[in-house]
């Protein structure tokens, strides 16, 4: 049952921007296949952001991209997805109504975007102010600890007089999840202490791998989490 949703997209999978396609083409593709599955299109219509904000609120691209989506344990492939990191919501396209449609957050376990960028949903993280609806990129996964990245956007008022009153600004935070604990990483020493790693050994190993926290936090923290997971099984 995993693949019966969005088999409609098979004939148009080479098109990267669904919004550029004709409504007739989408409707015909839909009507010639199995009806749309209500698990995915039951979140209500999506309202585009105000046009007076410069930029867009989405992750990577403002166009739909094909990915996989896991809902209530079932994975659907070739689903057109758009991830709004300003509101922390996942959007798909409803070909019958010819409109962007929200996917109910509480049903989503996770999703994967192009380039194998994987997102998971964390139910609660009360200590973190940008938790939103709970979607985090899963950067490094292990049996003992995971490295997460929270992508989000804020808005900032523009001083100059233009057609835009404000602008979207993209930011990201790294977090480490260990058991039922999640911390936002603010410096490398905090991460090393949280994982109970030996600082001298870590510094030596990082130097051998030419890793520097300030130059590339993502690679450095991935190394720490991978090191911790490997050490836990030795």
pTM for this prediction: 0.83
Ordered per-residue pLDDT tens for the chain, 234 residues: 444 444 334 333 433 444 444 455 444 433 433 344 555 666 678 888 899 999 999 999 999 998 999 988 888 888 889 999 999 999 988 777 778 889 999 999 999 999 999 999 999 999 999 999 999 999 999 999 999 999 999 999 998 878 899 999 999 999 999 999 999 999 999 999 999 999 999 999 999 999 999 999 999 999 999 999 998 776
For the chain, the domains span 1-117, 122-234
Which long-range contacts link 102-108 to residues 24+ away (Cβ below 8 Å)?
102/43, 102/44, 102/45, 102/46, 103/40, 103/41, 103/43, 103/69, 103/71, 104/42, 104/43, 105/43, 105/133, 105/134, 107/39, 107/71, 107/72, 108/69, 108/70, 108/71, 108/135
């Amino acid at each position: 049952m995993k693949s019966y949703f969005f088999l409609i997209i098979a004939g148009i999978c080479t098109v990267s921007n669904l919004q550029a396609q004709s409504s007739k083409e989408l409707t015909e593709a839909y009507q010639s296949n199995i009806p749309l599955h209500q698990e995915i299109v039951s979140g209500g219509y999506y309202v585009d952001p105000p046009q007076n904000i410069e930029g867009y609120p989405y992750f990577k691209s403002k166009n739909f991209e094909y990915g996989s989506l896991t809902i209530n344990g079932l994975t659907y492939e070739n689903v057109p997805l758009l991830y709004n990191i300003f509101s922390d919501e996942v959007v798909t396209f409803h070909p019958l109504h010819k409109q962007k449609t929200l996917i109910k957050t509480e049903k989503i376990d996770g999703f994967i975007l192009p380039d194998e960028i994987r997102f998971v949903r964390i139910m609660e993280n009360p200590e973190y102010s940008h938790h939103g609806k709970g979607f985090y990129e899963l950067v490094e996964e292990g049996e003992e600890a995971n490295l997460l990245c929270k992508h989000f956007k804020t808005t900032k008022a523009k001083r100059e007089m233009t057609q835009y009153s404000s602008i979207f600004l993209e930011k990201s935070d790294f977090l480490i999840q260990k058991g039922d604990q999640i911390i936002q990483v603010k410096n490398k020493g905090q991460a090393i202490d949280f994982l109970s790693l030996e600082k001298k050994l870590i510094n030596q190993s990082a130097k051998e791998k030419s890793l520097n926290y300030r130059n590339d936090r993502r690679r450095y923290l991935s190394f720490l989490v991978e090191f911790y997971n490997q050490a836990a099984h030795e």
